[in-house]
Homo-oligomer: A and B are copies of this chain.
Amino acid sequence: MPQLRKDPIIGRWVIIATERAKRPKDFKIIDSSPPEKECPFCFGKEDRTPPEVYSIKDNEGKWKVRVVPSIKPFLAGNHGLWKKGKGPYDLMNGLGKHEVVVECPQHIGNMADLEVENIRDVFFTYEERIKEIEKDENIKYVLVFKNYSWDAGGGRVKHARSQIIATPVNLKRVKEELEGAKFYFDYHERCVFCDMIRQELSQKERLVLDEDGFVAVVPFAPRFPFEVWVLPKEHSPDFYATPYDSLYPLANVVKKVLMRIKNLLNDPPYNYVIHTAPFRRPHRGYWSTIEEDFHWHIEIIPRLTKVAGFEWGTGFYICPSLPEEAAKFLRET
């Protein structure tokens, strides 16, 4: 059973994934990409994964997008949340969900290479799963993310997929964003993300795309070279409230960004993460202004640099490229 443990100093929750617990010899430093195993995510191999919990089907009943539980879940179970202290420490059981979204039936690795309609279906699938998971009162947050390719944690099999993790705690970085956004709102009575979008649209030097209600920008203070954020121009705290008609334009912008990253940077590994507002649980009174101050967005991070180690220990990042130059390359490619 996975555990959630809280760092007693800074209060960060960590998943101790006991289901994956490893002995020293299990850790191998693999420098090169290992050979691909037979793909369990292709059409026709459905018996290789746990039974699906959701799918979108075509007119002939064939699945186009499919969601299955992870075979090695980081978090699992939906009842009996316990929290306890142990000396000065806090822990709780690793209750939650961990699902895999198989993005296409054919063996394609990079979401950049999927059709826009296909990506729209993937985003619609995210929405449907988030709405379903929200019904579980123990869950505070749903995180949707993608690890593309081995060096981004994407595993051995090159079949496009993303992951959904539902947690009983709010995640540190998301909490910081919520707090930062609230702090800004309390002073300015404006959404910091909306202000940022206005600034980028008028200044244009970090703008990558501005199409059909969505913008793609390189942030002013990115952590990683060629980091790109995609945001809806209209204020909205919740990703899953995006109207169906807006998902195609969103998919179009995301595909273009991913395709440009692929072409410009030689098909690099990348991650993306959707930051959306946490569920508003009636018994949690805080985040009183969240509807007005938080703004969902997707953070896309090409993994281009060997991580200089001290970022881990300090939260201090060094970005070896000028954001304005990265945006220019991404705009003009």
| Interfacial residues, chain A to chain B (CB-CB below 8 A) | 5-18, 20-24, 27-33, 74, 87-89, 143, 145-147, 150-154, 163, 165, 167, 171-174, 176-177, 179-181, 184, 192-193, 195-196, 199, 203, 219-226, 264-266, 268-273, 275, 299, 301, 303-310, 312-323, 325, 329
**A220 is contacted by which of B5, B154, B318 (Cβ under 8 Å)?**
B5
B318 with A172: CB separation less than 8 A:
no
**A27 is contacted by which of B89, B151, B225 (Cβ under 8 Å)?**
B225
B301 with A22: CB separation less than 8 A:
no
B309 with A271: CB separation less than 8 A:
yes
**A171 is contacted by which of B184, B314, B319 (Cβ under 8 Å)?**
B314
Given the complex, which residues of B lie within 8 Å of A272, measured CB to CB?
313
A318 with B15: CB separation less than 8 A:
yes
A309 with B319: CB separation less than 8 A:
no
A22→B273 CA distance, assembly (Å): 25
Q: Return 9 A-B CB contacts under 8 Å, by A number.
A: A8-B196, A11-B180, A24-B265, A29-B151, A145-B309, A165-B310, A273-B309, A273-B314, A303-B309
A9 with B74: CB separation less than 8 A:
no
Given the complex, which residues of B lie within 8 Å of A266, measured CB to CB?
27-29
Query: In the complex where A174-B314, A306-B151, A308-B153 touch, is A24 in contact with B319 (Cβ < 8 A)?
Result: no
**A143 is contacted by which of B30, B153, B226, B314 (Cβ under 8 Å)?**
B314
